[in-house]
Amino acid sequence: MSEYKFENTIGGKLLRELDATFRDCLVIPNGWLPEKFHDKVRGGRTLARLDQMCDKHEGLTEYRKVKDIKAENVENYRKQFEKNELFAYNGHVNELQLHRNQMAFCTAHPDIDLDEEDMMEYKQRIKKTPAEWKPVNRKQSPRY
């Protein structure tokens, strides 16, 4: 059996979303920041933007983060397979990429009927970051 990880539970996902929302809302004024982090247009920077700038300065890009997560997942699956020749998908999930893949499959498959509302939601959703997504209530939808 796999080990319990709080970040893979609903509470962990909600906490991660709360953290991302908090980082987007909190603006640090220019007076508190070093000169190289000043934003002359808005008068300050959000914590999320400051994190991105620091990561970029340290060489930790979004691409590198995704590659590290994939490597961690592969290592997890390898250990599971070596242990009992089976593995369960219990690693990190890229919700945006999962949604894009599902929509691409539905658009490519001729027998799946997509209504106009689903397509509009898809087009709006791919323009947003995961922190901006509204949760989809799958229980109310008759197809799920």
Q: Is the pLDDT of residue 141 over 50?
A: no
Judge if pTM exceeds 0.75. no
Going by C-beta distance under 8 Å and a sequence separation of 6 or more, which residues neighbour residue 21? 131
Q: What is the pLDDT of residues 2-61, one digit of tens each?
A: 677 887 788 888 998 999 999 999 999 999 999 988 988 889 999 999 988 888 888 777
pLDDT at residue 58, rounded to an integer = 81
Cα–chain-centroid distance for residue 64? 14
- Cα torsion 67, 132, 101, 4 to 10°: value is 60
- pLDDT confidence of 144, banded at 50, 70, 90? very low
Residues 130 and 96: their CA atoms lie apart, in Å, by: 6
* Bridge partners of residue 27, in order along the sequence: 46
What does the DSSP 8-state code read for residue 122?
H
Higher pLDDT: 40 or 140? It is 40
